[in-house]
Structure 1
Amino acid sequence: MKIAMTHVDLPNESKGGVAFQAHYLANVLVGRGHDVTMFTFSPWFEECRYKVHQYAINPKLKKFHAFLLAANLAKTDFSDFDIIHAHGDNFLLFGKHPQVRTFHGSAIDEAIAAVTWRFRIYQTVIAGLEKVGAWIADVNVGVSKATQKRIPAVSDVIPNGVDTVLFSPGQKSEHPSILFVGTTGGRKRGKLLADIFSREVRTKFPNAELWAVTEKPLEGEGIVNFGKVSQDTLCKLYRQAWVFCLPSTYEGFGIPYVEALAAGTPVVASLNVGAKEILDEGKYGVLAEDDRIGNQINLLLGDDNLRQKYAEIGLLRSQDFSWEKVAQKYETIYAELISKHKKL
């Protein structure tokens, strides 16, 4: 198939999870014999197995990139492609078919979880545009049942994927270690975890370390700040950590949880909808209220057998999110939609 895929940016210019998911899916589809072109504001880089159609953008206008991408897509001729697959910003793609839209969470939930009024207002506007995009697309896919619940137009649920070869088990660190991947503030709440670590974990395990992969350093004894890391380093940290913890107030999906599961690292998560779905209400990892997160981390750090139990069942769960399974599901939707469109 000849596939036109769209996303505002790529991993070489973005820290956002959707950019990575669109990139990885495109690469997997190329590996499965498809011809994929990504329409984006980012340039091609060495990890791209697919073609890149880069739109020009004034750096001063990047804050409006979602709206500018929509305008550029509306002016693009996609007639040479079998199908269009948009990872957002398709609200001006009228009359361009067949078209698939993937929702990586919902803007209304982002608005509810927002910690600033500016971001809340922005996401509220995006929520209205999501409804338009869902109406335009021929098939709407959500990455979770929680997303489908928020966006009723979503007919199919296909989870985000993880590379189960890159993210795989390995030797754990010598001393107790907790890994956090996210932002220090906002809904990811890195600062909250740092406080819990200093107040509850470090007092019980004086040699424990909190490894922070964040945009800003976290402060406290035993906290090791890695900043932005390469994929190889990230995989290594997942493998070596004793426990992974991400206490987000909201995750539309929560790919870091899956990456930890695939690396054989037990997960402690807050009660957000993404974590609850991935961990199947606590079957494959630990779900905890804020005032119980420290206690649950300590239980895992102090019990080798408990950690091994969660590592083993987590590995089984991670297979549900392998890229091959994800790609196969999208291929089925593509083929059915292309066949239906040809009959019209």
Structure 2
Amino acid sequence: MKSIEWLSCVKRGCGIGQYSDLIAQKLRAKDINIQLHRKGNPNDYATAFPHRSLRNLRDYVAPYYLKKHLDQLETSSDIYHADNIDAFTALVFSKKSEVQKKYVTIHDVIPIACAHLNWFQDRYYRFQLKQGIEKSEKIFTVSHFSKRDIIKHTGVHEKKVNVVYNGINHNVLYPNDQQVENNIFTIRYIGGLGVSHKNATALIEVARILEDQNISYKMQIGSGNADLTLLPVLVEKYKIKNVEFVGFVPDDQKRSFLAEADCFLFPSLYEGFGFPPLEAMACGTAVVASNCASLPEVLGDAALLSDPKPDEMAKNIIKILKNKELQKELEEKGIRQSQKFTWENTVNELLTHYQS
């Protein structure tokens, strides 16, 4: 294998951006000649291509700027791997389109499965998805659930879709040496709030049930856009006293935020993989989650899974709150489950596919 060009239309900070960055680092550590092309700051393995944000259109014009960048790229590599369908579209319309080994990662098909796009966004997404399905040599996805969903919504042959799980960075996310004893049972959440499939209103409904039952608890919700949602309005409406919106949790504070919770609550209705609850497990925290989409596959029996209805999830919260032995069992199971997912495993599986 001579070299790999890894293509991205996003910066490092978002989920897909971190996926690309960590894979590039791991491949480089194996002395693989890899160059990551992305928005954001350049470094020894990443080249930043010039782009304009154009406000709300930035996600739609990014492939154009990546295409221009690829047209000017003088190097010729064995493998071109796009981290999403937008970057793959840039490759298809660039001068590099004739390379044989064109791969794409399709993390999920949430825009179709959850139907939350407007007419233009939906057409644009389906166009990019079609490019990835038809013109890639192989498709990678991050769970068997996502594979089934991709096949269901596109009709692509199952042999073309390959499951390679995401990893957890266990050098950054790990348990405390000693369990923090909170004065009050602390429930925490990290994740999206503004899209319906995240089911974030269930967080507030669970809090309401706990307060109605005079349960002593504290819930802290980490996300940068709470004020743009109805969640604070619901807290006010229900007169809930013990919910706090703590804002965006930076990467250097994520481990402590997760590790110092008594329970992590994740009511999502749809996940292609589901990083937040697995990251909480890696930090040694008991997890209560919905039994939807990829979550049973990724979390296994190391979490208390239930129907995403608030009353069912509240019951599981109360089970942990009242049973320290159960909490300890879930913490230990969660650590073991999270250790099955490493970026080392991810890149090893990718290399096997590249070399086949």
Task: Establish whether TM, by shorter chain, passes 0.5.
Answer: yes
TM-score (structure 2 length as normaliser): 0.82
Query: Counterparts of 1:78 and 1:330 in 2: how far apart (Å)?
Result: 25
Relative distance call for 1:125 and 1:51 in structure 2 (3 A) is closer
Once the two structures are TM-superposed, the CA of residue 70 in structure 1 deviates from its matched residue by 6.0
Once the two structures are TM-superposed, the CA of residue 173 in structure 1 deviates from its matched residue by 4.4
Give 1:3's aligned residue: 4
Query: Counterparts of 1:238 and 1:58 in 2: how far apart (Å)?
Result: 33
User: Alignment RMSD, CA only?
Assistant: 2.4
**Corresponding position: 1:306 with 2:326:** yes
Give 1:328's aligned residue: 348
**Corresponding position: 1:52 with 2:47:** yes
- One-letter amino acid of the counterpart of residue 191, structure 1: T
Q: Map 1:1-344; keep pairs closer than 5 Å.
A: 1-12=2-13, 16-44=14-42, 50-60=45-55, 61-69=57-65, 71-72=67-68, 75-77=71-73, 79-88=75-84, 89=86, 90-91=88-89, 92-93=91-92, 94-106=97-109, 109-114=110-115, 116-118=116-118, 122-123=121-122, 125-152=124-151, 153=156, 154-170=160-176, 171-174=179-182, 175-186=184-195, 187-197=197-207, 199-204=208-213, 206-217=215-226, 219=232, 220=235, 221-280=241-300, 283-289=301-307, 290=309, 291-336=311-356
1:49-106 deviation line (CA, Å, top 9, x unaligned): 6222323225344141354256436635474323211111213523123222111112
- One-letter amino acid of the counterpart of residue 50, structure 2: Y
3-state SS of the aligned residue for 1:210? Answer: strand
Once the two structures are TM-superposed, the CA of residue 334 in structure 1 deviates from its matched residue by 2.3
Query: Counterparts of 1:250 and 1:76 in 2: how far apart (Å)?
Result: 39
1:98-150 deviation line (CA, Å, top 9, x unaligned): 222111112xx433324x452x7624642342232122222211111112112
Identity of aligned residues (%): 22
Relative distance call for 1:134 and 1:294 in structure 2 (3 A) is same
Q: Alignment length, in residue pairs? A: 323
Q: Could you tell which deviates more after superposition, 299-308 or 183-192?
A: 183-192
1:219-246 deviation line (CA, Å, top 9, x unaligned): 3422232212221211111111111112
Relative distance call for 1:269 and 1:128 in structure 2 (3 A) is farther
Relative distance call for 1:210 and 1:40 in structure 2 (3 A) is same
Q: Could you tell which deviates more after superposition, 72-81 or 164-173?
A: 72-81
Relative distance call for 1:7 and 1:246 in structure 2 (3 A) is same
**8 Å CA contact 2:270, 2:293 repeated in 1:** yes
Relative distance call for 1:316 and 1:133 in structure 2 (3 A) is same
Once the two structures are TM-superposed, the CA of residue 284 in structure 1 deviates from its matched residue by 2.1
- One-letter amino acid of the counterpart of residue 150, structure 2: I
Query: Counterparts of 2:44 and 2:258 in 1: how far apart (Å)?
Result: 25
- One-letter amino acid of the counterpart of residue 53, structure 1: A
For structure 2, list consecutive stretches of 5 or more residues without a partner in the other structure.
236-240
